[in-house]
Chain A
Amino acid sequence: MIPPSFQYHAPSSVDDAISILTQYGDEAKILAGGHSLLPMMKLRFAEPEHLVDINNIDSLKGIREENGMIVIGAMTSESALIASALLQEKCPLLPEAAKLIADPQVRNRGTIGGDIAHGDPGNDHPALMLALDARFTLVGPNGSREVEASDFFLGTFYTALEADEIMTEIRIAPQAANTGASYHKLKRKTGDFATAAAAVVIEMSGDTCQSARISLTNLAATAFRATEAEAVLVGQTISDELIKQAAAKVMEACDPAEDLRGDAEYKTHMGGEMTRRAIKDAIKRAGGN
């Protein structure tokens, strides 16, 4: 449980961080909250020779509104997401879901950017980002680019980030009128990753679903959007039967790996069950029934 030796860098600007990353290439790793990276280093699964700690870069922290968008610094901690009045009002899904991540110790240090950048299908933010249609700002030696959440998650521990890039910001549109969102997560105990979890954002007009985004955690090699399930709902009058059909579509899309949380059959069923619960909650919150 002791990592091999490494060299520690603590730059105070994004530019400095990028120049260190450029200098050491694959031998360097960004250190954010450390709650995914350090366990891997202690088990010697990850053995970076250079750690670039970006906790001193103040510009990467905080939550603000800019041009009608919510902008979250990548180094914002889970605890800060939970405490944010802005998010509670304009993007309540995020603080609600962040409360279900790990435990207070982890949430005090773990960051939203690290949670996304890690590319772990068991992490909760990837599915939330898909459901919220988020965009990420990635800054590298050649400047900055924007990537949509739907283009970001390429495989387990594999994302659109280059080794010399830093995720600086996450952009999310405030929750629209007549819209409800919900995240349902089944876990074995507090502090555990999801056995299965579903994020749902639904816009309603009376009893009719105008639009829906459904995404799933830990049910395939990456977080994914269940577009066929969404299609079942959109334009329809919502009924229990319809919700069941949408959940069944989610189950068809699941391809989970067996582990001690359960086998593929159980996890798939739980994907369906979490979806059913999240849809119901989201509709209620959108003002439907």
Chain B
Amino acid sequence: MSAAEDTLERQDQLQGIGCSRKRKEDPRFIQGKGNYVDDVKLPGMLCGAIVRSPFAHAKIVSINKEKALALPGVHAVITADDLKPLGLHWMPTLAGDTQAVLADEKVAFQQQEVAMVVADDRYIAADGAELVEVEYEVLPALVDPHKAMDDDAPIIRDDLVGKDEAGQGKRTHNNHIFTWDVGDKDATDRAFDNAEVTVREEILNPRVHPSPLETCGCVASFDKINGALTVYITSQAPHIVRTVITLLSGIAESKVRVISPDIGGGFGNKVGVYPGYVVAIVSSIVLGRPVKWIESRIDNISTTAFARDYHGIGELAADKNGVIKALRFSALADHGAFNAHAQPTKWPAGLFSICTGSYDIPVAYARVDGVYTNKAPGGVAYRCSFRVTEAVYLIERMIDVLAQKLDIDKAEIRRRNFIKAEQFPYQSALGWEYDSGNYLPALEKVLEACDYEGLRKEQAEKRAKGELMGIGLCTFTEIVGAGPSKACDVLGVGMFDSCEIRVHPTGSAIARMGTITQGQGHQTTYAQIIASELGLSSDDIQIEEGDTDTAPYGLGTYGSRSTPVGGAATAMAARTIRAKAQKIAAHLLEVSPDDVEWDVDRFQVKGNPDAVKTMKEVAWAAYNNVPEGMEMGLETVNYYDPPNFTYPFGIYLCVVDIDRHTGETSIRRFYALDDCGNRINPMIIEGQIHGGLNEAFAVAMGQLISFDEDGNLQGNSLMDYFIPTFVETPHWETDYTVTPSPHHPLGAKGVAESPHVGGIPCFSNAVIDAFAHKGVTHVNMPHTAFNVWKTIHQLGLDN
């Protein structure tokens, strides 16, 4: 075997970075051997069921617990009045607002939490909940955010009347939460005044709900003897939950243990702290027994963490050639009854300012006004970084609108506006420094792979015959991996992340991170990083997350931050270990550390391939034979504060055929090219792209949380709320280019949210493109058969 072959073989054996190895977690999940919160059963455990409001807006006249308490097996019925003495009837939100834990004198959205019945089991708890008698006095409901700031609008938050601030700066109306703006307004207005061409269009991201397979829940267990609290919880951020619990309860953080076991999907739904958790914890403290609370599907869809609900107007100014000169945007953000937006604390519109996208736009201005309505609180970033889907939707829709106005091809207008490869690192008009990108070759690759010219020809022929076919493009840039602590914090904690690695004497290792996998495959990906960095087989590297007693503090997993931040911490920790190992190897080889070099899984004396010490040998020596003055052991912990976000991009193309009689759409082709920098496990990436595209398809084509005029939620079960099955799901074709991040230790960027963020506008662009020849520039999501048919019927195309 040649030396080169030998190196390759040793590399392959590690199954490290770049290897499409199967996921380590799959055998467990495929065999139903996962361990989720609802699998946790503790001795003496009780169950809680929540009594919920049937009305969107009502005063609570009285609550009568007697009948429920009389039911055998019911231990307690807890209401806001019971929480009041503890100061826990309200709780702070991540967005600086407060939220009623249990309704305090009034309810402000349908299904709001009014009381919790704690009983021996979930069946008795459900019967008990039905026996709690609540008398309401119904108030007029406010549903339309456009009416929220009318003079005569019903007041949602009596607790804030007279206050000109709700945690995010000045507010101007009882239902106003904040005004956020960014960019140079005057320069933008001037650019619009002087522009050769301007376009303006409605940009609506309707209210949707991220729907993980597993709903939210917890088991709270308070040990009265030690004063210690353990909480098993469906959380994407267990360490922050621990801090929040301490801040709310006063229990020392060292006596609070939060465990996120296996999590059945999050998508943003499991970032927040929900009333059910708080009441379960209080109940456990009061009753001295473990208390479990698990949401039903209806509870989940109705109450915990909606997403989007951005009602905007987008505008572009350009020259006659379609070169964009300015972007302007204003929106109403419907936050529901409490502003529980999951965001880095000081970012009321999240990272919306990425809205200039992949284009070199000289000047821009965006403004968002948050308002209260009688709807469930939120919102969260549904498989995206904070408000990045809304931002990408804006620019990717508007550039199509501009192309249509100027009769420029939709691919060509993108070519004319792309940020060029040589402009990176690129300073955007709204203040970001894009780390790297190379958009044009990626676009050309996709156009060629799909025979874009041929598709346009076919479309012209179909149009001549009265048939409807649309071609959608989306050439997006994301901002992910929050984030540099100078810019981002959650409740004052910087948004770093962490990794602790311990290499055992026989050369296997355990590593723990502050992130928490919910299906992303961290146990595989992180092990691959360590395998390549340390030269140990990824099979022998155990990854643990989610137990705050064992894992180092971290901010959790959302906003595609695990690889950009947690993955960077992992690489840095491994490198610290390797640096120490190098000294031990040199000691064993009796040369100076500078005289040894790293070779896949071993150190070798420079120029002498026979003088080697493998990492396994070094690991053994770390526990018995280290250089004079060196501490024994081979472990470290790294807290990584990223210097910047990462900016993955993608080029997507979608072809849709529309049945002009029923409005049904059929996605004939969907081609997704993603560039997430260096790729750690290509198969996991592909799986994440598939999943994200499925959810993009769901949002664009069917998902909607809608209300009637009284604020009743319509369709809160999976009968109506659209989760595509494999029957509906289109076939996905994936592709990639590699443009490494210059600041990430591995050159990697986040990826799992790109397909959701880029997919949604791509579907919309395709559907709208099918009607472009009829002058249509805009239709709202979701593109259900009914909605598409309305467009067809209005245009008379169904005759």
The residues of A with any CB-CB pair to B shorter than 8 Å are: 1-2, 4-5, 44, 103, 186, 188-192, 195, 260-263, 266, 269-270, 273
A1 vs B301: C-alpha distance when bound (angstroms): 13
Q: In whole angstroms, what is the CA distance A261 to B725 when docked?
A: 18
Interface of A is mostly: loop
Contacts of B293 in A (CB 8 A): none
Q: Quick check: A1 and B784 within 8 Å, CB to CB?
A: no
Which residues on A sit within 8 Å (CB–CB) of B668?
none
Asked if B122 is at the interface of the complex by the 8 Å CB criterion, the answer is yes
Cβ-neighbour of A192 out of B130, B662, B719, B789 (below 8 A): B719
Residue B785 lies at the interface, judged by CB distance under 8 Å to chain A:
yes
B789 and A266: CB pair below 8 A?
yes
A260 to B727, CA, bound (A): 20
Question: What are the residues of chain A within 8 A of B662 when measuring CB–CB?
Answer: 186, 270, 273
**Most-contacted residue by chain B among A44, A188, A262, A269 (CB, 10 A):** A188
Are B728 and A190 in contact, CB atoms less than 8 angstroms apart? yes
Closest to B798 in A: A269
A41 to chain B, nearest CB (A): 12
- A-side contacts of B790, CB under 8 Å: 266
Closest Cβ–Cβ distance, residue B61 to chain A (whole Å): 23
Q: Are A260 and B725 in contact (CB under 8 A)?
A: no
A33 to B122, CA, bound (A): 25
Partner of A186, one of B127, B714, B785: B785
Task: Identify which of B123, B126, B298, B720 contacts A260 (C-beta below 8 A).
Answer: B720
Q: A1-B297, A2-B126, A266-B790 are in contact. Are A188 and B785 (CB under 8 A)?
A: yes
Do A190 and B122 form a contact, CB below 8 Å, given A260-B706, A260-B720?
A: no
- Chain A residues with CB under 8 Å of B362's CB are none
Counting chain B residues whose Cβ lies within 8 A of the other chain, the interface size class is 20 to 34
Q: Kindly list chain A residues whose C-beta atoms are within 8 Å of the C-beta of B321.
A: none
Q: Are B784 and A188 in contact (CB under 8 A)?
A: yes
In contact, A188 and B130 (Cβ under 8 angstroms):
no
CA of A189 to CA of B722, assembled, Å = 8
B728 with A189: CB separation less than 8 A: yes
User: Does the CB pair A188–B793 fall under 8 Å?
Assistant: no
Bound-complex Cα distance A192 to B122 (A): 29
Whether the pair B728, A260 counts as a contact (CB closer than 8 A) is no
A interface footprint on B280-299 (CB within 8 Å = 1, 0 otherwise): 00000000000000001110
Q: Does B661 contact A (CB under 8 A)?
A: yes
CB neighbours (8 Å) of B123 from chain A are: 2, 5
B786 within 8 A of A: yes
CB of B34 within 8 A of chain A?
no
A189 to B698, CA, bound (A): 11
Assembly CA distance A263 to B663 (angstroms): 14
Whole-angstrom distance between the Cβ of A204 and the nearest chain B Cβ: 24
One of B663, B724, B789, B793 near A189 (C-beta < 8 A): B724
**Which residues of chain B have C-beta atoms less than 8 A from A263's C-beta?**
786
Nearest neighbor of B129 in chain A, beta-carbon distance: A2
Smallest CB–CB gap between A183 and chain B, Å? 15
Question: Which residues of chain A come closer than 8 Å to B786, judged between CB atoms?
Answer: 195, 261-263, 266
Residue of B nearest to A47 (CB): B130
C-alpha gap A263/B793 in the complex (Å): 13
Residues of A within 8 A of B664 (CB): 186
A189 contacts B298, CB within 8 Å?
no
- Per the bound structure, the CA–CA distance linking A266 and B789 in Å amounts to 8
Nearest residue (CB) in A for B661 is: A273
A259 to chain B, nearest CB (A): 8
- Is B745 at the interface (CB under 8 A from chain A)? no
Q: Select the residue from B661, B714, B725 with max chain A CB neighbours within 10 A.
A: B661
Q: Contacts of A270 on B, CB cut-off 8 Å?
A: 662
Whether A2 and B724, one on each chain, are in contact in the complex, defined by CB atoms closer than 8 angstroms, is: no
**Chain B 727-741, CB within 8 Å of chain A: the 1/0 string?**
110000000000000
Q: How far apart are the CA atoms of A9 and B785 in the complex, in Å?
A: 44
Task: Rank and list the top 5 A-B pairs by shortest CB-CB distance, nearest first.
Answer: A2-B126, A262-B786, A190-B727, A1-B296, A260-B715
How many angstroms between the C-alpha atoms of A262 and B715 in the bound complex?
A: 13
